[in-house]
Structures are given as C-alpha cells and as structure tokens.
Structure 1
C-alpha cells in the first residue's frame, strides 16, 4: 500500500512541478535562489508548548495570568456571577456556570490576584464590610485579593485589609466574614474550578517567577536553546534563511517594561553573527506587539485579550520597535527582511487599521534600507491573503506571508494521509498559483510543519506528506520557512525530522537549484 501510494505521490508531484515551475529569485540570496528557511520559534518569544519545562518551577503554576476560574459557594451551592458579564454588581446566585461566572486572573504574586470579567471590568472591594462589584475599569490595591487554597479545591478569598469574603443568604458577596474561616462548609469557603490555563508565554513566565528568578531562567534558555552549532547544522542541510520571532520589548533592552526580561537583544545580535558566519540570512519577525495582536501566548498576551488595534499608542509604539530594529540591522550583511507583525487576528484586527500600520511600517523600514524585504503577514482566521495584494502597501521588495497548517481546523480532523496530501496539491497549490500570479508582492509560506491530525501515520506517510509540502511551497515566489527548529513535540522539530529521515530535503533542494 505504501509503495503504491508513494508512486502516486511522485507522479502527481512531478506533473505539478513541471507545470508550476516559475522563474523567481530573492535579492540577497546566492545563485538566484529563494528562501529555504527555518523559524527559531520558542527562543526569544516564549511559547510554553514548545518547551514546557520552562514553567516547571513557578510556584502555584496552575494560576498564571490569563487562567480562567469559577467560584462556587459551598453553603449556597451557587456560583459567583458578574452580572451582565461585568459593569454591575456581583452576586452568588447561579446554579450553573457560564461566561458571567468565569473570571480571568491577573497575577500579582503567588497568592494575590485580580479578577477580570468577560466584559473587561475588575472585581473591586474598597474596605471591610463592602459588597463586591465588577465596576472597576483598571486594577490596583482595591481590586487585589488574596487566595488561600487547600488540597481539595477549596479556597478562601480576602481583601487587602484581611477581611474574608463570604456568600450571604441574600446572595451577595461581602467582605465581612467574622474571624478566620476553617475548611468546613461555611459562608467564606468556595470551590474553585480552573476552567482554562492555556496561556504560557513571556508574560506568564516572567510574572509567574518574578523578575530575579525569571531573569535566570530566561538567560539560561537564551544561551542554550539556540547556538552557533544550530546554524552549522542548518547550513549543512541547505537552509539559507532563519526567521527569528522577537517581542516588542526587545527595543527597550536591557531594561524593558515589567514584567518582561531584558537580554533578547544580545541574543539577536548573536544570531546575526552566527548567520553571517554560515552565509545564512535573517528575517526579523515581530511576533508579539504591544497589547497583543491575536490574544495568544506567542504574542505575549496577559489574559487572551487583543488590545493592539484598539490603541493608537500601541500602534505608535510598534512603529517605534520597527524603527529600532531597522536602524540597528539595516546595514548588517545578514539581514534579508523585517516582518512587521505576525498573525494579526482577523476577528479582532480590522483590515483598515492593519493596512494603515503596514503602510507606515513599510516607510519606516525604507527610511533605513532601500532594499531590505518588508514582510506583511496575512490575518489569521476568516481572511483572504489577497486582501493585502489589493492594499497598495509598498512598491519594492514587499512580501506577503501565509501560514499553512493542516491543523487547527475541524476540516482536517478526520482526513486520511492521502486526503491531507491531496489538499496540499489541490488547495494550497491553487492558492499559491493565484498569489504568484497576482500583481504586486512576493508570497512567502512563512510557517508550515510536517505534522497533521492523522494519528496512525508511518514514517513513509510523513515522508510523503513532507515531500508534498516541500514541492508545493517551493513554488512560492519568496520561498518557505519551517516551524520550528527545536520543539519538545518531535514532528514539529526540524532537527528531529532531518536526523530521523522524516523530512527529506535533498531531492527538493537539488531540484530547486534549476527549477526556479
């Protein structure tokens, strides 16, 4: 079966390759080639799923920034609820929990937290005896609560003065429980359920450990996760470019705003030096913007909200970061391009705001370099990358970045190996042909991976899937970049794929030398 399948793949891909061969090359790369890249993900922007052990030493690590909880009174058997999702009183009156009964944590210390509602307000209580409301638009001491936990999922909550909250018979939440409660069924005892603990990024790591410990953890990680030996490995396997995700705080090194930790700028300088030593080019990718452009951990969101498009200050600050990076690296021989923003959310970032920023960012880069590629990423979610081709962002060396994963969508859940490969040849290839043929920017498959939802794939299946992706993505006019160099999940790990022969580059790279 595998032999027949492999022959089918080869025949299909050979015909596609003959039809799809187009003369494209990228300025700055040798021999009129295109980008054959690898992302250095999880290095200067933390993503906990790439290296979970980074978070192992955080005390009370279940309760990081962005963790969502629900509280249920043990005496009333009712849930704490922010009426209307926030902006009103807090009651202890619901039999079942939904969004109004879900609170998002802002961590102040190992045991102190602020509670944010779904509408964005904070629970607040100004003094002993007060009734808790969800009316504060920002958080300070009167919005800070201490949580005491036992080992059975029960908690006590007290305000700064030391008074404990209790659920009253009138279904209110008040700071007037007499004395110190025990862990029996009393009005000051609540059952706490952790609904989601999905964010493990730079914010969670730094704020979870505290500055000094986080600095040690990140210094160790930055000095060991990527090194010059990795660039030698990439060079030996025909990789000519690295895409390096960075966070906005890099422009404020060595002392960025809290809780972020300095040191990423020195690491980026090292990467440029290592790249130059092996004739590898660098793309600097602004992966995390102030306020977060997509609410995910890899954009350093504190709590899953998207603030970047809502604030002109955030956008101005982002342009300052681009200016800083462009001015620092424009003359460096290893610079190939600067990506203005990674994966803005289609649901949260309006196209007009994004295009305006992209146009300004293009001009900022051009102020320092007439030739560095300016890369603009498509919006993730329900958006067509062609929207950026129609936006008239810039006239020279502009690139649109698309990210291709046979994951993260229910469409892919039940696809077989053959189905996945057919999707690459039919859908991905058709879109790349359309983008390559569009007037304007080059196209870059800036992220893709040799992984899928097909759970019983053999090594041969993975080889065929990887081969299909390489053959199709090789046709992108700017090139491609694998996500990512190192990863605890082996099929996401480029080095593991190469060393274990799951991803076979040699034939593809040999073809590309004369096809494109």
Structure 2
C-alpha cells in the first residue's frame, strides 16, 4: 500500500505490479509496472477494518460474482454487507522508517518533527561524552536523499546534510573520526525500514538504482574527502543475501572503491557483509581494492531462531566459541581489515540480571576488541535501554571501563561507536 495523501493510495502486488483501471465501468487489473493517475485510488475507512475503494473522482470498486474487481458500483455503498465493502488488515511487520514518517506526517509537520529530533538527539554534549570515555570514532548512518539537501525528493525532508556537517565539526573539536555509512540506498537494499524501504520490497539491485547510489557515494566522497575528521566511507549497509546477488554487489563495491579513491588515496573504504545466508569470506575473495579496505560484520545474538532458547551462559559461550573463532580466521586472512560495525548488549534471554548483562557485555568487548579495524556499538541513544550505549555505561550494565580496549582507545586503532539521527523509532 503506497500512501499518496491522507486518502489516496496505490496498491502493489507481491510480484511488483500495481492495480490499474482505465476508468468507470472497467475492470481492475494488476498489470501496471509503475504507478500514475490510473493506479491511484481513494480509500475510505471506517473505525474498524472496513474500507471502500474508489477511482479518483470516480465510482466505487466492487467485486463481481466471478471475483473480478470492477469500477461500477452504483451510488455510495453503506457499511453493511455489500460487494463494495472490503476488509483491510494491517500486518504485524508494518514499517516505521524514514519514508513512512515523512510520508505519514506530510512535509510541513515532518520537517518540524525531524528538526526537533535532530536538534536534541545528537548534540555537541554527546561528543563530549564520547571523548570523556575514550571513544575515538563514530559510524554515522545516512540515507540516500542526503545528497539532494536541502530539497530532497518527496516525501523526504531536508536537514540531514546540515546535521552531518555539524557532526563532523563536533568530531573535529574532540579529535574523533567519522565513518559515513550509506544506510539507506535508492530502492532499498534489504526491504527493511532502516533502509527506507517503501513497502518491504528490495529494489536496489538494478542498474538504475546502482547508478544513483554511485552518484551519492561520489557526492559524499567529494564533500568530505579532505575533511580532517573523515576516517572512511561505508558503501552500503546490510545488503540482503536473498535479494542482492554477490556478483552485482561486488561490482558495485569495486566501482564505489574507485570513486572514493578519486577523491582520497587514504580514506578507508568499508564494504558490508550481506545479511542472511552469506559467508563473510566471500568479500575477502572479491578483490575489491588494493588498500585500506575493511569488511563490516554485524554481530547480534538476536533476529534468528537459533538464539531464542539460549541461556545467559549459552549466549556468552557462543561469543567465545563462534564469534571469536571467526574473527581470528578473518584477522588471519590475506585481505581486508575486520570491523564489527554493529553489536549491542542485548539478547533474547528475557530474565537476565544486571550481572548477566555485565558478563555478556564483558565477553563481547573482550572478543570484539580483537577485530583488526575495530568495533561500533548500536547506538549512542535509543528508546530501548539495552541498545542505548550511554544508558549502559551510566547504569553499569556494560563494564566498559574495565575493558582491555580502553588502553588503546587513544591510539590510531579506529575503535568506535555508532549513532544515528535518522533512526526514527526514538520519536514514534
């Protein structure tokens, strides 16, 4: 369901075609490859899940005896049982990302919501907090529309570029380095809300979207390559193994590497592992570039049924037996550096005590400190307390001060922390 306005929508099938109708008296078919006026319908909704659907400035749709949708219901249907009253079900995995927020609020209100969010979520005080705790780098997620600020394509609103400029300025003030992470690519690289998917589908691996994405990398590299706070550029966050073929991804990474090198001979170029059923070694064998290449792995004891019934001890042993052995193998491989670009002090174990969380966090810090490039926690601030790095530190759930890594935070080893002003769950 693509929302156009408060009452206008376009309806897309799982195969990607849109419902279309040539006008009054005609049937409705799922044949349109892209939406326009003929694919735009008005939806009237009752307090419950009942709806009427009509052509824009036209008649209501009804179902015929032969199960065909036609635009010819006579008059205005009531809410009793009739051929023009439908049920609409909002599924449990509905999206709450950047696209949905900006589209749902409308431009003016979304602009105000995001302005207030950016002004309060990450501030210079946060960089002061990072500096006091020995953090020397941040990984900053951005969406593709940042390249079009201050007037990005609808429904997105401007302001992200100013926020990124502020972050670079504050980082420089506190001798903190920045990694720019393209978190949301045109068309969505994984169908999830953090990739700004419009409807849960993955459309990124097409030549047009890939070309657009390379232009965005060019914009970011040209703008920040000479900034003293830049550490590196991550070309794409969490492409889906189910939807993004390896050869397509590697080709994109190679082109992105060359674009960054056009502007900087030394900035790190970070390539993210595919999520799903993918072996990180596939990127070590890809020969993306000659130097300063980093592979980003995301380590969560979540999002997989494998972790559902694990005890606290099981989770901790998994860190030592599985994560540590993989890190050692990748560190020893003849290829890119290893970056644990996302991890969090949270799990599926629902009855964990403070001591359990401390032991789990201590295990992760001890193992991830061995990554040859470093690690980044997701995130600095979050509405879920165990995802909130600042809360974990202040409430002594993450034994950060006793971590061996603290001894090397002020070296050139780029250990760091992730934050995002575009991670919108905080304000929903």
TM-score normalized by the length of structure 1: 0.78
Give per-residue Cα distances to partners, 1:13-70, cap 9 Å, x unaligned. Answer: xxxxxxxxxxxxxxxxxxxxxxxxxxxxxxxxxxxxxxxxxxxxxxxxxxxxxxxxxx
1:445–1:481: 8 Å Cα contact kept in structure 2? yes
Select 1:328's aligned residue among 201, 211, 223: 223
Verify: 1:212 aligned to 2:108, yes or no. Answer: yes
Is 1:248 the counterpart of 2:144? The answer is yes
Q: Give the corresponding residue for 1:22.
A: none
Match of 1:116 in 2: 12
Instruction: Provide, for residues 430-449 of structure 1, a one-character-per-residue CA deviation record: whole Å limited to 9, x for no partner.
Output: 00000000001110000000
Task: Give the C-alpha shift of residue 198 in structure 1.
Answer: 2.1
- The alignment's C-alpha RMSD in Å is 1.5
In structure 2, how many angstroms separate the alpha carbons of the residues matched to 1:167 and 1:309?
37
Aligned equivalents of 1:510 and 1:120: distance in 2?
50
Q: For residue 512 of structure 1, report the CA deviation from its aligned partner.
A: 4.3
Superposition pairs of residues 46-445 of structure 1, within 5 angstroms: 105-310=1-206, 312-445=207-340
Question: How far apart, CA to CA, are the structure 1 residues paired with 2:309 and 2:231?
Answer: 39
3-state SS of paired residue (1:354): helix
Q: Give 1:389 deviation, angstroms.
A: 0.8
Q: Answer with 1 or 2: which has the greater Rg.
A: 1
Q: Which residue of 1 aligns with 2:420?
A: none
In structure 2, relative to structure 1, the CA distance for the partners of 1:317 and 1:172 (3 Å cut) is closer
Q: Distance in 2 between matches of 1:127 and 1:388?
A: 51
In the alignment, the residues of structure 1 paired with residue 128 and residue 183 of structure 2 have an alpha-carbon distance, to the nearest angstrom, of 25
Q: Distance in 2 between matches of 1:308 and 1:115?
A: 20
Q: What's the CA shift string for 1:184-211, capped at 9, x where partnerless?
A: 1222112222224521111111111221
**Is the CA contact 1:395–1:440 (under 8 Å) kept in the aligned structure 2?**
no
Instruction: Say how many residue pairs are matched.
Output: 411
Name whichever of 205-214 and 232-241 sits farther off. 205-214
Q: Distance in 2 between matches of 1:251 and 1:482?
A: 26
Distance in 2 (CA, whole Å) between partners of 1:197 and 1:155 is 21
Offset, 1:168: 2.2
Once the two structures are TM-superposed, the CA of residue 234 in structure 1 deviates from its matched residue by 0.9
Using a 3 Å threshold, how does the CA distance of structure 1 residues 152 and 248 change in structure 2: closer, same or farther?
Answer: closer
The answer to whether the 8 Å contact 1:446/1:480 transfers is: yes
Q: Does 1:504 align with 2:399?
A: yes
Unaligned residue ranges in structure 1 (runs of 5+): 1-104
Kept in 2, the 8 Å contact 1:127–1:161? The answer is: no
Give, in angstroms, the shift of residue 327 of structure 1: 1.2
Aligned-partner Cα distance in 1 for 2:253–2:409: 33
- Looking at structure 1, the residues matched to 84 and 94 of structure 2 have their Cα atoms a distance apart, in angstroms, of 28
Contact 2:136/2:410, CA 8 A, preserved across alignment = no
CA distance in 1, matches of 2:86, 2:300: 42
- Which segments of 5 or more consecutive residues in structure 2 lack a partner in the other structure? 414-428
Distance in 2, Cα, partners of 1:353 & 1:131: 39
With normalisation by structure 2, the TM-score equals 0.93
**8 Å Cα contact 1:323/1:365 also seen in 2:** yes
Q: Give the secondary structure class of the aligned counterpart of 2:349.
A: coil
Please list the CA deviations of residues 115-156 of structure 1 after superposition, one character each: whole Å capped at 9, or x if unmatched.
Answer: 111111111122111121111111111111111111232111
Q: Which residue is equivalent to 2:384?
A: 489
Q: Deviations over 1:267-302 (max 9, x none)?
A: 100000111111111000010111111111111111
From 463, 466, 470, the equivalent of 2:358 is 463
Measured after TM superposition, the shift of residue 171 of structure 1 is: 2.5
State the secondary structure of the residue aligned to 1:443. strand
Shifted more, 416-425 versus 499-508: the winner is 499-508
Q: Using the alignment, how far apart are the partners of 1:176 and 1:514 within structure 2?
A: 71
1:161 CA displacement = 3.0
Runs of 4+ more than 6 Å apart: 513-516
SS at match of 2:348: coil
Contact 2:135 2:409 in 1 (8 A): no
Q: Cα–Cα, structure 1 residues 440 and 507, in superposed 2: closer, same or farther, change >3 Å?
A: same
